[in-house]
Structure 1
Amino acid sequence: MLCCSYDGVVKKKSGLGATCVTRHIADQKEVATVVGLDISKDMVNFATSNNTSEKASFHVLDIQEESGIREDWRGKFTKAVSFHTVHWIPHKERFLANVHLCLEKGGELLFNLFAGVPAIKVARDIKTHPKWREYLTDYTLKLYEWPKGDVAGMSHMLEECGFEVVTCEVHTLTFKFDSLEKEKAFSRPLLGHLQYIPEEKQDDFLEDAISMARGLYQKDEQGRVIWEMPQIVVHARKL
């Protein structure tokens, strides 16, 4: 089993999530070994130090670079997974080609990625907010989501990279929160901007970002914002 990750916004939480997923997979009786990959050395060190399964190992690799793929990985994996990761990868065709290289014939790939999330528009637009732009001059949001609803485009890319598309569908996660503090906790992982904002101003920044986002979402009958996270979910097989 191959688990692909990518250095996210909130490093400790990202590493913990990847470690838990990999460990859960390794705990399944039918799984022989699991290899976890991440571009960040810090994430790999974190995952390795928190790993309790002898069947799991972690390695530093930019999945976009074929040169880093070891010979003993090529054509050796039965399955590859990547959850909430591919929208951090700019060159998705390289990701697909290199995962294809690692899978055996008939091997399966499962992944998801954001596709037209309104909150990500806020994450981009807030950089020019009059109150915050002076702090964010050097910040770039390195998140590369897929166009909303573009199942055909993703299916075509998969086929070009040598996969048979089993399913390629739009799924929308929805969240409702009953307090501003919960909305802040939910928003933090998407806002790498916070590393540029003075700590004493971060709550104010989060409130402005949430206020902007609320204008893009509908509300339920109790007046709670319905936070929607559209994504593309893919199950593919190597031909």
Structure 2
Amino acid sequence: MNQASLYERANQVQRHDAKIILEEYATILQWRSDGQDSLLDVGSGPGNVLMDFVHPLLPKGYQQLVGTDVSNKMVGYANKCYESYARTQFQVLDIGCDRLPDHLKGRFDHVTSFYCLHWVQNLRAALGNIYSLLRNEGGDCLLVFLASNPVFEVYKVLHANKKWAHYMQDVDQFISPLHYSTNPVEQFTQLLSEAGFIHHNVELRSEVFVYEGVNTLKDNVKAICPFLERIPSKQHEEFLDDFVDVVIAMNLQQDLVQDHNNDRLQQRFISPYKLIVAYARKSPDFLRNMLSEMGIKKSSKGLE
């Protein structure tokens, strides 16, 4: 995932979903009346989703926009690409960390995240940190991530192959913590409540993305596969070929179709996946303390 420029070219799925979801939630996000909004994005990668789809929604006089990522290389790439944008910066942050940096606590009106939280095994810690990022007066978050995806099953199959097992010993760390959940909506809703959010809406969306051709599929794997950088470069193509073979064995290949660019037949691959889309609001500290004193522990689940 450290190949920032490749990821930027290969993240069609992320861009497609982020665009649609932000269009839906643009009027639901609680924008400040004075236009001085501060927003932090979790897992910004190369920054193009944040800057293409979130940035345009901000009031012209927004206070600050902070993109974060666990990867130093991604952050460096994003800062270089968007250095001309005022009041905008990218910095390293592990949202699943045990201790959130003090300078980030309570500074933001909004937190967004697209296609990141499925990489975070400790969702409880991540949501606690997101809650702490929001201002004490309250704020909201929009979180979008994979509940399940066939790529996780592909990883498990490749891990069972002696050729690749050595490079994939921690495979479970790269499978969504909700992938095997029998009720991911209920599970994530409970985690939001435990973090302190009092208004939340969680939905599970079933989506399908089609990769046009083997090269498109391989480019996507190159961009997002966390194991490839561990494998010697001379074996990369072999790994990618094995990846495609597993995808075909899982019946995720469609019939050959005509490629009008070079007049040849090409393979198409389908990827059915389930997406968690969650919107939640933080209660002002005074309200949370009052509810706590009254012994009200369970949060309401609807939007007001």
The alignment's TM-score, normalised by the length of structure 2, stands at 0.65
- Structure 2 vs 1, CA of residues 59 and 121 (structure 1 numbering), >3 Å: closer, same or farther? same
C-alpha distance in 2, partners of 1:64/1:193?
A: 20
Pairwise CA RMSD of aligned residues? 2.6
C-alpha distance in 1, partners of 2:193/2:225?
A: 33
For 2:148, what is the secondary structure of its paired residue? coil
Specify the alignment match of 2:217 in structure 1. 183
C-alpha distance in 2, partners of 1:182/1:3?
A: 27
Superposition deviation, residue 217 in structure 1: 4.2
Specify the alignment match of 1:9 in structure 2. none
Specify the alignment match of 2:147 in structure 1. 115
User: Over residues 130-170 of structure 1, what are the superposed CA-to-partner deviations in whole Å (9 max), with x where a residue is unaligned?
Assistant: 4434xx34653332412355110000110111113432111
Q: Which amino acid aligns with 2:124?
A: E
Q: Is the 8 A contact 2:113 2:143 kept in 1?
A: yes
Residues 91-102 of structure 1: matches in 2 within 5 Å?
91-102=122-133
Where structure 2 has 5 or more consecutive residues not aligned to the other structure, the ranges are: 1-38, 258-267, 284-304
For 1:115, what is the secondary structure of its paired residue? strand
The alignment's TM-score, normalised by the length of structure 1, stands at 0.81
State the percentage of identical aligned residues: 24
- Structure 2 vs 1, CA of residues 79 and 208 (structure 1 numbering), >3 Å: closer, same or farther? same
Residues 47-86 of structure 1: matches in 2 within 5 Å?
47-51=78-82, 52-65=84-97, 67-71=99-103, 73-86=104-117
- Structure 2 vs 1, CA of residues 118 and 4 (structure 1 numbering), >3 Å: closer, same or farther? same
Specify the alignment match of 1:23 in structure 2. 51
Specify the alignment match of 2:277 in structure 1. 233
Superposition deviation, residue 120 in structure 1: 0.9
For 1:90, what is the secondary structure of its paired residue? coil
Aligned length: 226
Q: Which of these residues, 180, 196, 202, is aligned with residue 236 of structure 2?
A: 202
C-alpha distance in 1, partners of 2:97/2:151?
A: 30
Q: Is the 8 A contact 2:107 2:133 kept in 1?
A: yes
Residues 100-179 of structure 1: matches in 2 within 5 Å?
100-104=131-135, 105-133=137-165, 136-137=166-167, 139-141=169-171, 142-145=173-176, 146-147=178-179, 148=181, 149-179=183-213
Q: Which amino acid aligns with 1:22?
A: L
- Structure 2 vs 1, CA of residues 155 and 213 (structure 1 numbering), >3 Å: closer, same or farther? same
Tell whether 2:249 aligns with 1:211. no
Where structure 1 has 5 or more consecutive residues not aligned to the other structure, the ranges are: 6-13
Q: Is the 8 A contact 2:201 2:280 kept in 1?
A: yes
- Structure 2 vs 1, CA of residues 190 and 67 (structure 1 numbering), >3 Å: closer, same or farther? closer
- Structure 2 vs 1, CA of residues 66 and 131 (structure 1 numbering), >3 Å: closer, same or farther? closer
Q: Is the 8 A contact 2:41 2:66 kept in 1?
A: yes
Moved over 3 A (4+): 24-29, 65-68, 130-133, 217-225
The structure whose Rg is larger is 2
